[in-house]
Amino acid sequence: MSVNQPGDHRICFVGDSLVQGTGDPDALGWAGRVTLKARQAGWNVTNYNLGIRGDTSRDILVRWAQECARRFPPDTHHYIVFSFGVNDTMMEEGTRRISLDESRENFQKVLEPSRAKYSTLMIGPPPVNDADHNSRIQELSQSFNELASKIDVPFLSVFEPLRQDAIWIQEVGEDDGAHPGAGGYSRLARLVAQWSFWWFYREDQL
C-alpha cells in the first residue's frame, strides 16, 4: 500500500549481507534499488542500509532498536524493513548457528516492538546454492511467514520466486554460493517494488 504522504521519509533496511548487497558490482543491492525506484517516482526518501555480513537474528535483536532510533528525527516518517534468516540456518561444525526455536523467538522480539512503533515490513530469506541449506531456509521462511501473520506484519516470501529465477540461481552459483550480482539483486528488488505492501508502490513506475 502506498503511503501517499508528502514530507521526509526515512527508511532503515536491517539485516545481513544480502541486505547490505554483498557481491553487487553496482554497490546498490536490492535495498538501494528499491530506494532509487522510490526516488525516481518522486518520493523524498532517505535510506540507511544497516545490513551486516554474517548477522543472525540474535545479532539483529541486540542492535536494531538503537541503530534505527538514531536515524529517525521526530519530524520525519519512519519505516523499517527487516530481512534475515540465511545465517541462522548455516551449519558450523555440524551445528545449526541458530535453532529454529530461537530464530522464531528472536523474530517476535524484533518484529513486535518494531511494529508497535514504526511502519514495519519483513522480507523473507532468499535461496542459496546448496540443497540442504535451502531446505532449512525454506522451513524458516515458512515459519517466519506464519509468525508475521499472527502479529500482523506484512511478510514477503521471496524463496520460491527466486529459487525458480534463472538469473538469481546462475549468479549465486557463479559467486560464493550465497550472493548474486547486479542481475539477481535487481530481481529481488523487483519483487519488493511490485509488492502491494511496499510503501512507495506505484503501478505506473513498475
Q: What domains does the chain contain, in order, with CATH numbers?
A: 9-205 (3.40.50.1110)
Contact 25, 181 (CB under 8 A): yes
**What is the Cα–Cα distance from 158 to 66, expressed in whole angstroms?**
28
Over the stretch 94-152, which tens digit does the pLDDT of each residue have?
A: 999 999 999 999 999 999 999 999 999 999 999 999 999 999 999 999 999 999 999 99
Q: Return phi, psi of residue 91, to 5°.
A: -100, 135
Contact 199, 3 (CB under 8 A): yes
pLDDT at 206: 43
**What is the Cα–Cα distance from 141 to 126, expressed in whole angstroms?**
9
Question: Cell numbers at residue 123, please?
Answer: 522480507
Instruction: Report pTM.
Output: 0.95
Residue 12 per-residue DSSP state: E
Contact 49, 13 (CB under 8 A): yes
Strands 9-15, 155-156: pairing is unpaired
The H or E element spanning position 195 is none
Over the stretch 1-27, which tens digit does the pLDDT of each residue have?
A: 455 567 899 999 999 999 999 999 999
pLDDT at 202: 59
Percent of the chain with pLDDT over 90: 92
pLDDT at 205: 46
Contact 80, 10 (CB under 8 A): no
